[in-house]
Amino acid sequence: NAGVTQTPKFQVLKTGQSMTLQCAQDMNHEYMSWYRQDPGMGLRLIHYSVGAGITDQGEVPNGYNVSRSTTEDFPLRLLSAAPSQTSVYFCASSYSSGTNSPLHFGNGTRLTVT
Amino acid sequence: AQSVTQLDSQVPVFEEAPVELRCNYSSSVSVYLFWYVQYPNQGLQLLLKYLSGSTLVKGINGFEAEFNKSQTSFHLRKPSVHISDTAEYFCAVNRINNNDMRFGAGTRLTVKP
């Protein structure tokens, strides 16, 4: 059971560089989301999707883009990285949106922006 | 929007002692409530959830939580902890028919021998 797979596990970027964090799930989940985890702040929702072709902003969307072309994949793009985006990023999915379904999390991507 | 407050950032406890991790939430509408656990260098895993019905919810690894609507709380308890329970615990709330699950800042539980 692969569940939710995130790549890469670690990444170091210079300010201004761009990159894409990959997320894939093999559970046919309708709902997918991206969170960032910072010390003392818990997890904050960046973007989410309730199905292929549908995305929406969460609590902290600035500086990030997403798309959902398939049910399985939900990549997160940083267009111009900033030191404030240094964080641990988690992708999560659940069976349905809106939602009493618990989230299934990947193991995270640790991003450092210098 | 809903919000979550975890009242203790760190809880040290000795092995086999009871523990309570406190969580309060704020929402103008009905909510679903969750507790997740995060072990080092891993993602979060579901411990238990409250959707409706009985206010006492049992989860994995001997944990339980009680929903108190009047106090807007959802405290997590375990009668006897083990070294392996050392982890970070997150309370989360989601409004019914909403897609914006909010997490607390986390409580780091350290179980000492």
Contact A59 B103 (CB under 8 A): no
A58: chain B residues, CB-CB within 8 Å: 100
Contact A107 B41 (CB under 8 A): yes
Is any Cβ of chain A less than 8 angstroms from the Cβ of B29?
A: no
Low-confidence residues in chain A, pLDDT < 70 = 1, 97-99
DSSP string, B56-110: EEE-GGG-EEEEETTTTEEEEEESS--GGG-EEEEEEEEETT----EE---EEEE
**A108 to chain B: closest CA residue:** B43
In this predicted structure, what is the pLDDT of residue B95?
83
For the stretch B21-37, pLDDT in tens is 999 999 888 889 999 99
Instruction: Residue B74: name the closest of B18, B31, B13 by CA.
Output: B31
Question: pLDDT digit of tens for each residue in chain B (113 aa)?
Answer: 778 999 999 999 999 999 999 999 998 888 899 999 999 888 899 999 998 888 899 999 999 999 999 999 999 999 999 999 999 999 999 887 777 888 999 999 999 99
Q: In what order do the strands lie in the sheet with A76-78?
A: A4-7, A19-25, A76-78, A64-66
Give φ, ψ of A83 to 5 degrees.
-55, -30
Q: Which residues of A60-87 are buried (b: 16+ CB within 10 A; e: fewer)?
A: bbeebebebeebbebbbebeebeeebbb
CB contacts < 8 Å between A and B, how many?
A: 66
Instruction: Give me the residues of B, 42-101, that contact A with CB < 8 A.
Output: 42-46, 49, 51, 90, 94, 96-101
B32: chain A residues, CB-CB within 8 Å: 99-100
Contact B99 A107 (CB under 8 A): no
Strands (E), A1-114: 4-7, 10-13, 19-25, 31-38, 42-51, 54-57, 64-66, 76-78, 87-94, 104-105, 109-113
